[in-house]
Structure 1
Amino acid sequence: MRHRPNPTRLLSVGSIIADIRIDVPALPPRGGDVLGSPATVSAGGGFNILAAAARNGLKAAFGGQHGTGPHGERIRADLVAEGIAALMPPSREGDSGFCVVLVEPDGERTFITSPGVEARPGAAGLRSLPPGPADAVFVSGYDLCYPELGPAIAAWIATLPATATLVLDPGPLVADIPPSVSDAVLARVDVLTLNRREAGLLAGSDDLREAAGRIARRLPAAALLIVRDGAAGCLLVGGDMPPAGLSVPAPAVRMVDSTGAGDAHTGVFVASLAAGLDPPQAARRANAAAALAVTRRGPATAPGTAELEAFIAA
């Protein structure tokens, strides 16, 4: 990656919504029904990355909209509990959105998202969020899909300091991001992180290394691409990596719930860069954090520094 200072803060403009989680024995057929577990509600979406970073010693701040109803109240309470600053006041235009998360017995999860005020730039907008020169700025592909918010984020990214580290996770909706928005963000990105399925959608190839090569050619020369590959770990391409990329393995665990595993990976990766680790070392810690996260039920299950170090040592 190009030279830049180690991040001193994670500033996320990734939307935070309420996660309504239900464990199900299987997904119902179209038009069918299934009995699930009692629902649990917690902050989700962009919250998970901020929590993972904060638990691993990196100052974190939320720069998105949050509403005035019960979902917004829950989000703010969870932010306070993690020591994460909310930089915008509660929106008077409505409540935060929510996501229904259906988790099957093997840990796979399926989402249905209902947007709220976080899908719009708001009255003050991103202009009220001047990023610092040593900030790591996180952007989610969910937000880039929103008709109002996506173009606003793309325009705001163009104003970032050259020394700020832009981190993008396009997420499951990677193929739905408008090309004009996607191209603008990819032209500035420093760290692009996505899972194998998402890489295949973006590159049009199911072959991991072929997909990674196609994506890397769309990024700035010094950008780092991280393709998360579940239990296999992750592949690092670009930056200072070897021409063929570098595969970083993950610890073997029994997965219970994969919700938030990618977020744990990203938050710990950025926190590890902030602690002075190089990308391969940061990826090893991020792999371990994601592995530990999938052994627990719920969205924000990233470990803290002490627990992560004990897990790695074991």
Structure 2
Amino acid sequence: MAAPRVIHTAQALVDAVLEIPALPARGGNVMAESYRRYAGGAVTILLAAARSGAHAVHAGAVGTGPNGDIVRAALAADGVEVSAPPVPDVDTGVCVVLVEPTAERTFVTTLGAERTITPESLQTSEPRPGDLVCVSGYSLLGRTRDPLVAWLTSLPDGVVVVLDPGAALVEVDAAVRDTVLRRTDVWTGNTDEADALAGVRGIREAVQVVAGMLRPDAVTIVRDGPRGCLVREGSEQVFVPGHPRRPVDTNGAGDTHTGVLLAERAAGLSWTEAAARANAAGALKVTRRGPDTAPTRAEIDAFLAGRPA
């Protein structure tokens, strides 16, 4: 039997990354110290999963034009399948990323072909029981919301729905949010996202509230930056320690964590074991510039063994 696949439904974008000394005051100006374009968004999770050995599939929409070409080339380089046909006459959108010396980042995102999905285009990925289908909270806003929810609610039992809430989930219509949460098998986000959804502060308090919104057998994972992450399965929860590192760029760290987490789960590890490797991947990622610099499985092995990655 084939191993489960990692399927992502969200927006693949081009990240236009500018390193700046500081954000300017409103109406002000700042000189960028560097500028580079990367494939980002859902691409980061898919590359991280593929580099840890998963069969990864992008089910979202990719445009026709130079931005879409960047996305397709990045996915193809790591063997990630693109299941849906290109969107004709519309290019993929851009996310402008402003990175400060502290590694903090600020985003401004345009809308393009990546928002053009249908239940039929998503179904080109042909999810089967055991596959891990990743959904972004950002896809539950705007024109992607209705086709995504219609498709999600039609998925057969056994397809594992993984919700990456992002900061957007709390903005989603409550009825839509509840429908998606009821179909969610795995919730994985950071402490700010958990606190916002739960309405309480504190990782242990928030994870309990979030878990109560999901199926009784669902898994809830809350990342706490370099400190690690809390993994809750049913009523059992374990804190998996992280690996603090001096960051140069945090853009894509959470997505790298998610991609490795899902790849290792697809390979047969427990959620706690998968989270330990995802924590190591996130620690490596923040020492590298760009959202497409997720480590390979060999690099994670070397890191955990104490060897230079």
| Deviation sequence 1:23-77 (CA, Å, 0-9, x none) | 1111111111111123211110000000000001100111111111111111111
Taking a change above 3 Å as real, the CA distance of residues 58 and 39 of structure 1, as seen in their structure-2 partners, is: same
Taking a change above 3 Å as real, the CA distance of residues 124 and 273 of structure 1, as seen in their structure-2 partners, is: closer
Q: What is the DSSP-based 3-state SS (H/G/I as helix, E as strand, rest coil) of the residue aligned with 1:39?
A: strand
Instruction: Describe how 1:78-157 pairs up with structure 2 within 5 A.
Output: 78-121=74-117, 124-146=120-142, 148-157=143-152
In structure 1, distance between residues paired with 2:195 and 2:119: 37
Q: What is the DSSP-based 3-state SS (H/G/I as helix, E as strand, rest coil) of the residue aligned with 2:17?
A: strand
Structure 1 runs, 4 residues or longer, greater than 6 Å off? none
Shift of 1:191: 0.8
Partner of residue 281, structure 1 = 273
Taking a change above 3 Å as real, the CA distance of residues 222 and 29 of structure 1, as seen in their structure-2 partners, is: same
Which deviates more from structure 2 when the two are superposed, residues 173-182 or residues 213-222?
Answer: 173-182
Shift of 1:119: 1.2
Q: Which runs of 5+ in 2 are unaligned?
A: none
| Deviation sequence 1:208-250 (CA, Å, 0-9, x none) | 22221111110100111111000110011233x62xx211101
Is residue 188 of structure 2 the alignment partner of residue 193 of structure 1?
A: yes
Shift of 1:123: 9.2
Taking a change above 3 Å as real, the CA distance of residues 129 and 276 of structure 1, as seen in their structure-2 partners, is: closer
Contact conserved, 2:12 with 2:40, CA < 8 A, in 1?
A: yes
Partner of residue 28, structure 1 = 24
Q: 1:261 aligns with which of 238, 253, 268?
A: 253
Q: 1:46 aligns with which of 38, 42, 46?
A: 42
Contact conserved, 1:7 with 1:165, CA < 8 A, in 2?
A: no
In structure 1, distance between residues paired with 2:117 and 2:176: 15
Contact conserved, 2:7 with 2:125, CA < 8 A, in 1?
A: no
Partner of residue 294, structure 2 = 302
User: What CA RMSD, in Å, does the superposition of the two structures yield over aligned residues?
Assistant: 1.6
Shift of 1:124: 4.7
In structure 1, distance between residues paired with 2:3 and 2:218: 16
Instruction: Read off the aligned partner of 1:102 and give its amino acid letter.
Output: L
Taking a change above 3 Å as real, the CA distance of residues 200 and 7 of structure 1, as seen in their structure-2 partners, is: farther
Taking a change above 3 Å as real, the CA distance of residues 204 and 59 of structure 1, as seen in their structure-2 partners, is: same
Contact conserved, 2:84 with 2:122, CA < 8 A, in 1?
A: no
Q: How many residues align?
A: 306
Q: TM-score normalised to the size of structure 1?
A: 0.93
Partner of residue 232, structure 2 = 237
Q: 1:290 aligns with which of 274, 277, 282?
A: 282
In structure 2, distance between residues paired with 1:173 and 1:192: 14
Contact conserved, 1:65 with 1:122, CA < 8 A, in 2?
A: no
Q: 2:66 aligns with which of 67, 70, 78?
A: 70
Shift of 1:174: 2.2
In structure 1, distance between residues paired with 2:2 and 2:84: 25
Instruction: Read off the aligned partner of 1:108 and give its amino acid letter.
Output: E
Q: What is the DSSP-based 3-state SS (H/G/I as helix, E as strand, rest coil) of the residue aligned with 1:291?
A: helix
Partner of residue 165, structure 2 = 170
Partner of residue 215, structure 1 = 210
Instruction: Read off the aligned partner of 1:51 and give its amino acid letter.
Output: L
Q: 1:246 aligns with which of 217, 238, 241?
A: 238
Is residue 198 of structure 2 the alignment partner of residue 206 of structure 1?
A: no
Q: What is the DSSP-based 3-state SS (H/G/I as helix, E as strand, rest coil) of the residue aligned with 2:157?
A: coil
Partner of residue 5, structure 2 = 9
| Deviation sequence 1:175-202 (CA, Å, 0-9, x none) | 2222222111110111101101111111
Is residue 267 of structure 2 the alignment partner of residue 270 of structure 1?
A: no
Q: TM-score normalised to the size of structure 2?
A: 0.95
| Deviation sequence 1:230-272 (CA, Å, 0-9, x none) | 0110011233x62xx2111011211111111111111111111
Q: What is the DSSP-based 3-state SS (H/G/I as helix, E as strand, rest coil) of the residue aligned with 2:22?
A: coil
In structure 2, distance between residues paired with 1:109 and 1:88: 31
Taking a change above 3 Å as real, the CA distance of residues 123 and 164 of structure 1, as seen in their structure-2 partners, is: closer
Q: What is the DSSP-based 3-state SS (H/G/I as helix, E as strand, rest coil) of the residue aligned with 2:183?
A: coil
Shift of 1:126: 2.7
In structure 1, distance between residues paired with 2:102 and 2:245: 13
The percent identity for this pair of structures is 45
Taking a change above 3 Å as real, the CA distance of residues 64 and 9 of structure 1, as seen in their structure-2 partners, is: same
